[in-house]
Amino acid sequence: MIKRTIHQIVEMLDGAFFSNLDQHVEIQGVSIDSRTVQSKNLFIPIKGEHFNGHEFVQKAIDLGATATLWMEGEPCPPTEIPVIYVKDTLVAIQTLAREYRKQLQTKVIGITGSNGKTSTKDILASLLETQFKTQKTFGNLNNHLGVPLTILQLEPETEMAVIEMGMSGLGEIELLSSIALPDVAIITNIGEAHLDQLKTRERIAQAKLEILSGLRHNGTFIYDGDEPLLQEAVQIQNLGDRAVTVGLKSSNSYYPFFISIEREGISFSLPVQRPIFYLPMLGKYQVLNALSAIAVCHYYGISNEQIRNGFLQAKITGGRNELIKTPKYTILNDSYKSNPSSLCVSLETLSTLDYKKKIVVLGDMNGLGSDEVSLHEKVGEQLDPKHIDYVFTVGKLAEHIAKVAKGRFPEGRVTSYQSAEQGELIDQLKVIAETDSIILIKGSRENKLDIVVEELKDSSASTREAVEVS
């Protein structure tokens, strides 16, 4: 984490001034949340539309904050610790992170994309750890506050940092890239997420390509070579051999020679020397995420043997294509986010798996704009009773999935619920999900489908305990 004196912090925040200052006091790390302040933190109060972090500075001091930033014009600054005055605390934390990044020797890999950026982050970090001291974005800290916080948590001796970058509109990735200054930039794919803001896939591609704005001189760009929208844009950039493509087509720099989908993972190989890798994650699309990670590793001299070991040690963020084995059934937990392209690949993955019974619980796909109803209806058209036994939907938008699917499935096999917290949904799943069933749970986090996941996990554990006792 960042460790600097007050004097150094003021210098990094050009234009700041201070009071109550012992300029030799050292801060260790930063916090924007008074509930999680650690000893010697620099507290940075963020002011939003419905909250004002300045109101919680005393709590931060009580928990051990050494100093605080303070927005000019805010009343009643504290007197017992150094106060660094800035025009805007949000801009200040972004500036501080950018300056700290410039002072580090760490190589930064920035990752964005409509789908797969979290999985790619997790896979890549596990591979890099086989040779380098590595840190990565924690959880979902991938926005205008999360990226600065991630960078400010980097230790000086960290050699590799894998930084995830999310967005909802134009200009956001450009800002994050200017803060992280990546040595390698990755775009996993272009999907339909954020159509409500950006309207078209072309504008989504434009927004994702903003990651190149902060790419360091001679930096490498890795992207989905099967996506025409990216191919056309990259040609204009004139990156030459600094552009590396991944995809299923043999025209890409990295593509799979073969793919074998198994119950708990995927085996695949590369065409040159045909090294075989095993990734303990489900979904053919995960191969593309793995190829991006391999491309980075080859760029930094990591061997195929180290890559094999790294795949086996991958630590995956929960709620993203997470395979949960219980004593009774298997849960495929993808409850964090859903959009048409990611749902399509989840259903494709499910169709390739060999289980006695297959059940899907599908929540709303948010952020789709004016086409949201028709896009949900298309999902209902894609659901195949040959590969799926039961369909449950959660939410008002997902109800459109069920309405179409009911015409394709036997009576009683498709059911709609408005909330994941309705007890009937959990009860029905517990009855239907017999031994050797798999349950795909896919939706946006607003649907709170993680509640369903936890209930099913607890239910299966209770079943096991009852059997053991009897």
Per the annotation, where are the binding residues for ATP? 113-119
Strand partners, 363: 394
Q: Which residues are annotated as a binding site?
A: 113-119
Burial grade of 466 (CB within 10 A; 0-12, 13-18, 19 or more):
exposed
Using the Cα atoms of residue 86, residue 88, residue 94 and residue 95 in order, give the sign of their dihedral: negative
Cα Rg of the chain (Å, integer): 24
Report the run of H or E that residue 50 belongs to, with start and end. none
**336/450 Cα distance (integer angstroms):** 8
Number of neighbouring beta carbons within 10 Å of residue 49: 5
Rounded Cα gap, residues 12 and 92, in angstroms = 9
Burial of 316: CB neighbours in 10 Å, binned 0-12, 13-18, 19+: middle
Enumerate residues 6+ apart whose C-beta is below 8 A from 408. 380, 381, 383, 384, 385
CA distance 405 to 381: 6
CA–CA gap between residue 226 and residue 236 (Å, rounded): 17
Which tokens hold the place of 343? 């749902």
Strand-pair partners of 330: 325, 438
For residues 4 and 30, the answer to whether their CB atoms sit within 8 Å is no
Closest by CA to 97, choosing from 140, 151, 138, 44, is 151
For every residue of 205-273, DSSP letters joined together read HHHHGGGGGGPPTT-EEEEETT-HHHHHHHHHHT-GGGEEEESSSTTSSB--SEEEE-SS-EEEE-SSS
